[in-house]
Amino acid sequence: MKQKFMELFNPAPPIDQMDTSTPEYRKAYRYWRIRIMYTTMIGYALFYFVRKNMSLALPGMEAELGISKAQLGLFLTLHGLLYGFSKFFNGVIADRANPRYFMAAGLALSAVMSILFGMSSTVLAFGLFWLLNGYFQGMGFPPCARSITHWFSAGERGTKFAIWNTSHSIGASLVLILTSFLVVYNWRWAFYVPAGIALVGALFLAYWLRDTPQSLGLPPVEVYKGEVADKEPDVQVSWQQQRQFLVKYVFKNPMIWVLSFANFFLYTVRFAILDWGPSFLTEMKGVDITQAGWIVAGYEVFGIGGMLVSGWLMDHVFKGRGGRAAFFYMAACTIAIFLFWRLPSDSPYVYASLLSAIGFFIYGPQALVGTMAANLATKRVAAAAIGLTGIFGYLSGILSGWGLGYIVDHSGWSTGFLVLIFAGLAGTFFFALTWNAVAPRLEQK
């Protein structure tokens, strides 16, 4: 019974290929590409329902149970760090797993942890269940990376990954709206109701998602798009061979490490604005807290536009060289941060415009890093490569969260903004090093 259960996670085997000369072949490919895209987007948005459902519950938890802000903050920090490492470890597994069941299992387990968290009343229980939630959350992105890289070719991944990345903002926005109503009754409902929705979503993934094109009798996507295939053949391999691919295309690939460092500084800026945005708007600019909330929301909304435009630029202007688009985005973001800090104005509309610009320019490269890592590592180890960049991204929380808070406490917001400008310049520098980096198959065209 146990063996049968574990076999669910094995990659779906290929079946006899359709005749590629018939109209039905292209029609089938279009149908499945659309289905894979919206299914993974819905599934990943639901991961946010049991990941970003804590923020509005924090005041109620603090008031009812007497838990300190330091303890609550520790939950968030440790959750983020474990999630970053989990993305990598589960990425290694997901590169050889059927996303249909792997992703569904991750969502269901995260939902269960959310329910158990909502039932708890002690710091130890909260910490345990939220840490486990962080690990299971790492089972969400890797199977999506596997699906996108197998169903969409290198020449179009900038745009497709950008569209898919909007699921982050969609999920985060919807769960914030939902929990804002639930916490009025009781903070525990902010964990129960989203978890119930996520469990239904897990069943949807297990029923509706599928594995690779070959498992449905279709050829690799490069055949469908008329592109050069990966250097490594897209066939089932042993774990020993998979480890060799991991070492060759991830650990010994200098561009993956450069991207990882770029991601560290990119996420430093992204998380700093998310975590401290309302604080520096109210304390440094004198903005009302209600206005500050709307201004930071604009940061997220304009970020969606930044993702979509960056993907289009990567594919259609820079011909797969996402580092060029990321370089210009990061440079513009750094300028916007400087203007936000130094521009003499008392208008909240000016602050809102500049913060929206920062959101537009920071979410562009945030969407591109995963695409670039997947292309450079080949789809054989795409999830692991993206997971490695994710570790660096979430390690940035040490600087953007605790580090920035310490600096502002001791030296003020001006020093804090110097740190953010340094992070922006460092990110720009590392993206400049990827100027000519492109997927091997696009180099061959």
Residues 128-158 pLDDT 10s: 999 999 999 999 999 999 999 999 998 899 8
Superfamily of domain 2-224: MFS general substrate transporter like domains (1.20.1250.20)
What SS3 class is residue 415? helix
pLDDT at 350 over 80: yes
With a pLDDT cut of 70, the percent of the chain lying above it is 91
- The amino acid sitting at 93 is I
Q: What is the pLDDT of residue 300?
A: 77
- Residue range 193-204: average pLDDT? 98
pLDDT in the model for residue 416: 84
Q: What is the mean pLDDT of residues 282-300?
A: 69
Question: Binning pLDDT at 50, 70 and 90, where does residue 210 land?
Answer: very high
61-81 per-position pLDDT tens digit: 878 888 776 676 677 778 888
Contact 130, 117 (CB under 8 A): yes
Q: What is the CA radius of gyration of the chain?
A: 22
**Residue 241: CB atoms within 10 Å:** 14
Give me the residue spans of the domains in the chain: 2-224, 250-439
Confidence of residue 127 (pLDDT cuts 50, 70, 90): confident
Q: Is the pLDDT of residue 2 over 50?
A: no
pLDDT band at 290 (very low <50, low <70, confident <90, very high): low
pLDDT average, residue stretch 265-279: 81
Closest CA to 153 of 210, 209, 224, 214: 224
pLDDT of res. 101: 96
Give the chain's mean pLDDT: 87
Mean pLDDT of 97-103: 96
- The reported pLDDT for the residue numbered 275 is 67
With a CB cutoff of 8 Å and minimum separation 6, the contacts of 65 are: 121
Q: What is the pLDDT of residue 3?
A: 52
In the predicted model, what is the mean pLDDT of residues 290-307? 77
* Total-model pTM: 0.85
What's the pLDDT score for residue 295? 72
Distance between CA atoms of residues 310 and 298, nearest Å: 18
pLDDT > 90 fraction of the chain, expressed in percent and rounded: 49
Lowest mean pLDDT, pick from 1-5, 223-227, 272-276: 1-5
Mean pLDDT, range 316-344, rounded to an integer = 91
Answer for the pair 126, 120: CB distance below 8 angstroms, yes or no.
yes
pLDDT at 98: 95
- Give the mean model confidence (pLDDT) for residues 116-121: 94
pLDDT recorded at residue 63? 82
The residues near 369 (Cβ < 8 Å, ≥ 6 apart) are 259, 262, 263, 266, 326, 386, 389, 393
2-224 matches 250-439 in fold: yes
More confident residue, 54 or 435: 435
When mean pLDDT is compared across 13-17, 233-237, 245-249, the lowest value belongs to 233-237
Q: The domain at 250-439 falls in which architecture?
A: Up-down Bundle (1.20)
From the centroid of its chain, how far is CA 266? 13
- Please give the span between the terminal C-alpha atoms of the chain, in angstroms, as a whole number: 48
Q: Does 297 score more than 80 pLDDT? A: no
Q: Of 38-47, 294-303, 312-321, 346-355, where does mean pLDDT reach its minimum?
A: 294-303
Closest CA to 149 of 36, 253, 61: 36
Residue 281, pLDDT > 60, answer yes
Looking at the predicted structure, is the pLDDT value of residue 379 above 70? yes
Question: What is the spatial distance between Cα 51 and Cα 154, in angstroms, rounded to a whole number?
Answer: 30
